[in-house]
Amino acid sequence: MNKIKGYHILVKGHVQGVGYRFYCREKANKLGLKGYVMNLPDGDVEIEVYGDTEKIKEFISEITRKDMSFSVFDITIEELTEEKNYKDFNIRFY
C-alpha cells in the first residue's frame, strides 16, 4: 500500500491562458488527489498536491504531456513535510 504524501510543484513554461489550471484540476480530481493549482504573477504555475504516491506520479505525467495546448519547460518538485487537510483539489487565485 502506498503512503499518502504531499508535494509542492512549480511549473514553468507556456502554462497560463491555455486552460492548464482547469486541466490540472480535472486530472487531480479524477485521480482522487487533493490540493490546489494557482497561476503566479511571473507566469509560472504553483501546485500543492496530496495523495497516493502512485497517483501523484500519474498526475505529474499527465500535467507534463507534450501533446497538449500547454508547454512545460521545467518542473520543480519538493516533498512537503507538513500535511494539510484539503477537502478536494481546486483552483486558487493569487
Catalytic site residues?
21, 39
How many residues are recorded in the chain?
94
Biggest CA-to-CA distance, the chain: 38
34-39 and 89-92 strand pairing: parallel
Could you list the beta-strand ranges (E) of 15-70: 34-39, 45-52
Contacts of 81 (CB under 8 A, 6+ apart): none
| Amino acid identity, position 40 | L
